[in-house]
Amino acid sequence: MADTNRRSKKKPVGEKPELLRNFYEGMSLVRTFELRASEMYARAKIGGYCHLNLGEEATVVGLTAALEDRDYLYTTYRDHGYAIMRGMEPSVVMAELFGKATGVVGGWGGSMHMFDLDKRMLGGYGIVGGQIPPATGAALAISFRSEAGPESEAVMCLLGDGTTNIGAFHESLNLAGLWNLPIVYVIVNNGLGMATTVEDASAEPDLYKRGSAYRIEGTRVDGDDPIAVRDAARAALKKARVERRPSLLELMSYRLKGHSVVDPARYRSKEDTDEAKRNDPVTAFRAKLVADGVLTEKDADAIDDGADKVVTEAVAFADESPDPSIDELFDKVYSTPVANAPRRLPGEPVVVLS
């Protein structure tokens, strides 16, 4: 097991400038998208719950960069950034937030339930820990029908720090350890489950150690460093493919804002939020790339402007898109037609004899 410092001081040595630039583009896009989502929520364009990836951009970009197209991703309800970086168009992600027919799941899921079968992102999940057993089962299916090897598929399953206290986490890790499943469990430890700190929720607050009960190797990684995140995830995925062994990564991250857009996070001290701002991974990564001569300030501004343009277009697309048709209300309850499936709007007769 490795316990690295939360903030790695290493420069991204040996990475191609083009890749570093791509990483910054991704982080800037996620940041811009989430800030605009917050704004759209305040303007009542978005309903329900809305959890943002603000502060988690390096993790989002690093993890999705480690995945191959053939891999499967399961994530939590804090999923917009993952959806975009897994390849969904920002416009259809925004349209989903707006509840429109053009959204990634046609307005059926909203913020917490981004899903794209072709991109192999098998869902954001709104029930804490609910994604972990199905993700484990997806890894079982991979084992069931294919051999281990560098070309194998693998599963990545994200979860939050609070989720490591739920039974589904422990049952799933036990199954994955027992059955040698090709899966990487990734804890995004942003320090808080809603308002409860990791120390107040977990008897073992070094969460990466929790895999040891199941003989699953755990590694703690600086979640603000997209390169470190990518490398750790890539190594764990390789182990899943080649050795058919599960891994547990703990990415030390930080939530820049409240649990969801409606949470002002008054339970956090000023020192705490000031430190979060100082360590903002997007500005830190930008500063690092400028300092290393990878980007000029002008380049970085141009990237930010580009992200702004994409997100502005996404909002326009979402705004102009049609609502789903009420005629389709009952069409997706079952995947195959079945006799006597109820198709009644409220107040309509229960029995219609033919």
Partner 1 sequence: MSESASEPRIITYRQALSETLRAELERDENVFLIGEEIGVFKGSYKITAGLLEDFGPKRVVDAPIAEEGFVGAAIGAAMLGLRPVVEIMTLNFSLVAIDQIVNHAAKMHAMFGGQVKVPMVIRFPGGGGQQLAATHSQNLEVWYAHIPGLKVLAPSTPAEAKAMLTAAIRDDDPVIFLENLALYSVKGEVPDGEQVAEIGKAAVVKPGSDLTIVSYSRGMVTALQVAEEFEQKGVSIEVVDLRSLRPLDRETICASVRTTSRAVIFEDDMLSYGIGAEISATIGEGAFDYLDAPVRRVAASEVPLPYSKPLETAALPHAADLSRVVQEVLDATRFTK
* Residues near partner 1 (CB under 8 A): 72, 103-109, 113, 115-117, 122-123, 125, 127, 130, 132-142, 144-145, 167-168, 171-172, 174-175, 178, 331-336, 338-342, 349-351, 353-354
Closer residue to partner 1, CB minimum distance, 138 or 198:
138
DSSP state of 250: E
Q: Which is nearer to partner 1, 106 or 306 (CB)?
A: 106
CB of 60 to partner 1, least distance (A): 20
CB 86 → partner 1: shortest distance, Å? 14
Nearer to partner 1, 19 or 105 (CB): 105
Query: Rounded to the nearest whole angstrom, what is the least distance from the CB of residue 183 to partner 1 in the complex?
Result: 10
Distance between CA atoms of 234 and 245, rounded to whole angstroms? 13
- 116: which DSSP letter? B
Two tokens at 145? 């029908």
For β-strands 192-193 and 196-197, DSSP reports them as antiparallel
For the CB of residue 213, give the shortest distance to partner 1 in the complex, in Å: 14
3-class DSSP state of 72: strand
Q: How far is the CB of 225 from partner 1 (least distance, A)?
A: 30
| Nearer CB in complex with partner 1: 72/254 | 72
Closest approach of Cβ 340 to partner 1, in Å?
A: 4
If the CB atoms of residues 53 and 136 are measured against partner 1, the closer one turns out to be: 136
SS3 of residue 259 by DSSP: coil
Q: State how far the Cα of 180 lies from the Cα of 139, in Å rounded to an integer.
A: 9
Strand ranges (DSSP E) for 172-315?
183-189, 192-193, 196-197, 217-222, 247-252
Closest by CA position to 46, among listed 37, 35, 33: 37
**Minimum distance from residue 321 beta carbon to partner 1 (Å):** 14
Please identify, using beta-carbon distances, which residue of 134 and 205 lies nearer to partner 1: 134
Please, are residues 237 and 154 in contact by the beta-carbon 8 Å criterion?
yes
- Exposure string of 43-80, with b = 16+ CB inside 10 Å and e = fewer, is eebbeeebbbbbbbbbbbbbbbbbbeeebbbbbbbbbb
Which one, 5 or 336, has the nearer CB to partner 1?
Answer: 336
